[in-house]
Amino acid sequence: MQNLTGKKALITGASRGIGRATALALAAEGVKLGLTATSKESLSGVEEELKKMKAEFYSAPADVSSEEEATQAVKQLEAELGAFDIVINNAGAAVRGKFMDLTAADWKKALDVNVMGIVHITKAALPGMIEKNKGDIINISSMSGLKGTEGSGAYSASKFAVLGLSESLMQEVRRNNIRVSALTPSLVETDLTRGDGERNPDKFMQPEDLAEYMVSQLKLEQRTFIKTAALWGTNPF
């Protein structure tokens, strides 16, 4: 088992939901954090929580769909922390609607945030990881990356793309001792999915569950990695 203490992790979409829970879980393991989300304001809540934990963290807001902003944020965070050991590409946008209702702008948003966001952040962080000859990149896809459902065309297409790019990058950088994996969770109770009334917390995954899983995965000896992990709630429907 690897000790995560002192490692440096970049987390996108760290302000809320799965990203926030992952930041708190990694901080509890003594990981130093570089955080991004769309704005300083949205990051302020998790920053307060991390301060209370006396965690070491830096944050740099960026719209991950912008290559310029994403690259700048990674550079800024690397200037504070040095090259990253762990990158969690978690930022994502839920773009939903039936095929004939989705506009070109909807499709562009889904692909720009959910796919190009990962590309921009990873391109900026990867050279430092290759130099270290070690590292972990976890990309958050979705069950929608395995299965299309009514009204999920743009979101689903973007999450299928995350699996393709993750597997391809995994084959390229495993020789550099960098593990690239993708997670395909089913429904997790966050802002992205709330709104359909109260859900039974014993049946639906919580962001903390996914965070706990990622911590366990990251602790696996470097010789072992999980290419794709599907996490499901217990019989929620």
Cβ proximity to ligand NAP, 220 vs 231, nearer residue: 231
| Burial annotation 160-176 (CB, 10 A radius, 16+ → b, else e) | bbbbebbeebbeebeee
**CA-to-CA distance for 56 and 45, rounded, in angstroms?**
15
For 37, the enclosing helix (H) or strand (E) is none
Cα within 13 Å of Cα(101), Cβ side: 8
Subset of residues 81 to 140 that bind ligand NAP, contact rule: CB under 6 A: 90-93, 113, 140
Q: Does 188 bind ligand NAP (CB under 6 A)?
A: yes
155 annotated active-site: yes
Q: Does 2 bind ligand NAP (CB under 6 A)?
A: no
Q: Is residue 47 helix, strand or coil? A: helix
Cβ proximity to ligand NAP, 192 vs 220, nearer residue: 192
Q: Does 153 bind ligand NAP (CB under 6 A)?
A: no
Subset of residues 26 to 55 that bind ligand NAP, contact rule: CB under 6 A: 37-39, 42
Q: Does 185 bind ligand NAP (CB under 6 A)?
A: yes
Q: Which of 22, 65, 156, 166 binds ligand NAP (CB under 6 A)?
A: 65
**Residues 58, 155, 165, 210: which is the catalytic one?**
155
Q: Does 156 bind ligand NAP (CB under 6 A)?
A: no
| Nearest-approach distance from CB 97 to ligand NAP, in angstroms | 15
* SS3 per-residue string spanning 66-115: CHHHHHHHHHHHHHHHCCCCEEEECCCCCCCCCCCCCCHHHHHHHHHHHH
Subset of residues 193 to 232 that bind ligand NAP, contact rule: CB under 6 A: 193, 207
Nearest Cα residue to 214 out of 45, 23, 8: 23
Cβ proximity to ligand NAP, 66 vs 176, nearer residue: 66
Q: Are strands 8-12 and 86-89 parallel, antiparallel or unpaired?
A: parallel
Question: What amino acid positions are annotated as catalytic residues?
Answer: 155
Binding residues for ligand NAP, rule: CB under 6 A, are: 12-13, 15-19, 37-39, 42, 63-65, 90-93, 113, 140, 142, 185, 187-188, 190-193, 207
